Amino acid sequence: MDREAAFEEHFGTRPEGAWAAPGRVNLIGEHTDYNGGLALPIALPQRTYAMAARRADDRLRVMSMQTREVVEIDAAEIAPGRPAGWASYVAGVLWAVRAAGHRVGGLDLLIDGRVPLGAGLSSSAAIECATGAALSGLYGLGLLDTEAGRRQLATICRRAENEIALAPTGGMDQSASLLAQSEHALLLDCRDGSTRQVPFEIERDGLVLLVIDTRAHHALVDGQYGARRASCERAAAALGLPSLREVDPARLDAVLADLVGLLAGDGPEPPEVVVRRVRHVVTEIERVQECAAAMTARDWEGVGRLFAASHASLRDDFEVSCLELDLACSVAQDQGALGARMTGGGFGGSAIALVPEAVAGPVQAAVTEAFAAAGLTAPSIFAAHAAPGAG
Ligand code: ADP
Ligand code: MG
């Protein structure tokens, strides 16, 4: 059934419009956002669609074509963890739009998500930003019309995820979904929220960006994410800095040596472990800067080397990779990728590989074969390009 027919069947009324927001894949800059650092995502061609109509009351009715479930709630009843489950991402946006002082009433909303769910490609930001775009369009808020409006909507959607869906994520995903432009990556500075468009036109240089969804979701993910964040905050506090962004990369070795002494004795993990976490964050922020420069110069071998270094740092120093991600990256590299790395928070999700067009097929086949040989669930692999943000 198409979306419009499903909308009419479930809500007994016609939609007033349709909006869409993309998922994203981060090219480099992992676990840097909550450290005030840099990230470099692109918007994916896969989008989440929202069809919606205003209501005369303050009620939200939302249906997802993926869960086949309808959830209803009064706007006034939306609260942390309420509603529970997937609808919190939608309800959270209604709550946060109102909390930002916009006058909006209720709505009927149908969600059709074409971003793979839970693959580290940010279906959560896509559903939030599609909802935000629909609210803005229905109630004439004009938030998609200007860059300032899009920034404001990104903040609103992040609040929805943090405060209502209760996922303590940084703001990269929502910024990418709303601010990205086609054929560009978004250089995002999480210290001040500023952004810069960096050209990412790989096709004209005969390259393909493969996204490898490993289908692995290790249960560790929530607790470990919180633990990594806590280690970073502990290190910044011990160094007397507002965030690890303030560590001077030129003085990294000296700072890490000092840190061992400053941390001695307290905290949940040995100082040597915290030192490795900090080394990842500080070197990763530098790699993002170098990668943006290499992309601008169309130095794709340089970009590939930075991808590989980022993966090694996430695997060895930050310890957020896993068997599936390591396998995908090493096989891709062996088959001629310029570089491959895990992307997203880790412990499963997706990897990316920058590959010459001629080896895209062989890389795909070899990764699939290696997963089968290791007895793993077959990965889902697709070629991505830098697509436009929400509309
Ligand atoms: P990711 O953002 O990497 O896909 P998350 O765990 O952050 O992973 O978000 C996935 C969650 O978002 C899903 O478990 C579901 O609750 C919600 N979600 C995203 N898209 C949809 C959709 N189309 N329909 C219902 N729920 C969705
Ligand atoms: Mg998410």
Supply the pLDDT for residue 333. 98
Which residue has the CA at smallest separation from atom 2 of ligand 1? 122
> What's the whole-number mean pLDDT along residues 52-74?
97
pLDDT band at 268 (very low <50, low <70, confident <90, very high): confident
Ligand that lies nearest to the alpha carbon of residue 92, given by its number in the listed order? 1
- 40 and 29 in contact (C-beta within 8 Å)? yes
List residues bridging with 185 in a β-sheet. Answer: 198
Please work out whether the CB of residue 122 comes within 6 Å of at least one atom of ligand 1. Answer: yes
Please work out whether the CB of residue 117 comes within 6 Å of at least one atom of ligand 1. Answer: yes
Please work out whether the CB of residue 350 comes within 6 Å of at least one atom of ligand 1. Answer: no
Query: Which token pair is 276?
Result: 């490795």
Please work out whether the CB of residue 70 comes within 6 Å of at least one atom of ligand 1. Answer: no
Supply the pLDDT for residue 22. 98
pLDDT band at 220 (very low <50, low <70, confident <90, very high): low
Which residue has the CA at smallest separation from atom 22 of ligand 1? 113
Closest CA to 295 of 9, 21, 28: 28
Chain mean pLDDT for the chain: 96
Q: Which domains does the chain have, with CATH numbers?
A: 3-199 (3.30.230.10), 202-384 (3.30.70.890)
List residues bridging with 383 in a β-sheet. Answer: 210
- 163 and 121 in contact (C-beta within 8 Å)? no
- 217 and 377 in contact (C-beta within 8 Å)? no
CA of 216 to the centre of ligand 1 (A): 15
DSSP state of 79: B
Cα-only R_g, the chain: 21
Query: At residue 118, does pLDDT exceed 90?
Result: no
Angle at CA of residue 352, ends 389 and 328, nearest 5°: 150
Ligand 1 atom with least separation from CA of 120: 3
Ligand that lies nearest to the alpha carbon of residue 23, given by its number in the listed order? 1
Please work out whether the CB of residue 121 comes within 6 Å of at least one atom of ligand 1. Answer: yes
Q: Give me the percent of the chain exceeding a pLDDT of 90.
A: 93
What residue ranges in 219-317 does DSSP mark as E strands? none
Burial profile 258-283: b = 16 or more Cβ within 10 angstroms, e = fewer: ebeebbeeeeeeebeebbbbbbbbbe
Which residue of 10, 112, 123 sits with most ligand 1 atoms within 8 Å of its CB, as the best mutation to test the pocket?
123
Ligand that lies nearest to the alpha carbon of residue 65, given by its number in the listed order? 1
Q: Give me the percent of the chain exceeding a pLDDT of 70.
A: 99
How far is 267 from 265, CA to CA, in rounded Å?
Answer: 7
Render pLDDT for 286-307 as a digit per residue (tens, 0 to 9).
999 999 999 999 999 999 999 9
Ligand that lies nearest to the alpha carbon of residue 122, given by its number in the listed order? 1
Query: Which token pair is 32?
Result: 């840097």
Of 33, 108, 112, 173, the active-site residue reads: 173
Query: At residue 329, does pLDDT exceed 80?
Result: yes
Render pLDDT for 135-151 as a digit per residue (tens, 0 to 9).
999 999 999 999 999 99
Ligand 1 atom with least separation from CA of 125: 2
Which residue has the CA at smallest separation from atom 11 of ligand 1? 124
Query: Which token pair is 3?
Result: 């979306």
Alpha-carbon distances, residue 151 vs 148, 194, 219 (angstroms): 5, 9, 32
Render pLDDT for 10-40 as a digit per residue (tens, 0 to 9).
999 999 999 999 999 999 999 999 999 999 9
Please work out whether the CB of residue 89 comes within 6 Å of at least one atom of ligand 1. Answer: yes
112 catalytically annotated: no
How far is 61 from 71, CA to CA, in rounded Å?
Answer: 6
How far is 345 from 288, CA to CA, in rounded Å?
Answer: 16
Query: At residue 337, does pLDDT exceed 90?
Result: yes
Angle at CA of residue 161, ends 234 and 53, nearest 5°: 170
Query: Three-state SS for 240?
Result: coil
- 237 and 267 in contact (C-beta within 8 Å)? no
What's the predicted TM-score (pTM) here?
Answer: 0.95
> What's the whole-number mean pLDDT along residues 372-383?
98
pLDDT band at 165 (very low <50, low <70, confident <90, very high): very high
- 93 and 114 in contact (C-beta within 8 Å)? no
Query: Three-state SS for 379?
Result: coil
- Respond yes or no on whether the N-terminal peptide bond of residue 83 is cis (omega within 30° of 0): yes
Angle at CA of residue 129, ends 293 and 20, nearest 5°: 95
CA of 122 to the centre of ligand 2 (A): 4
Supply the pLDDT for residue 39. 98
* Ion ligand 2 — residues with CB < 5 Å: 122, 124
- 52 and 16 in contact (C-beta within 8 Å)? yes
Which residue has the CA at smallest separation from atom 7 of ligand 1? 124
Closest CA to 229 of 33, 29, 81, 38: 33
Give this complex's ipTM: 0.99
Angle at CA of residue 339, ends 338 and 344, nearest 5°: 150
pLDDT band at 246 (very low <50, low <70, confident <90, very high): very high
Please work out whether the CB of residue 113 comes within 6 Å of at least one atom of ligand 1. Answer: yes
pLDDT band at 100 (very low <50, low <70, confident <90, very high): very high
Which residue has the CA at smallest separation from atom 8 of ligand 1? 118
Query: Three-state SS for 349?
Result: strand
> What's the whole-number mean pLDDT along residues 376-383?
98
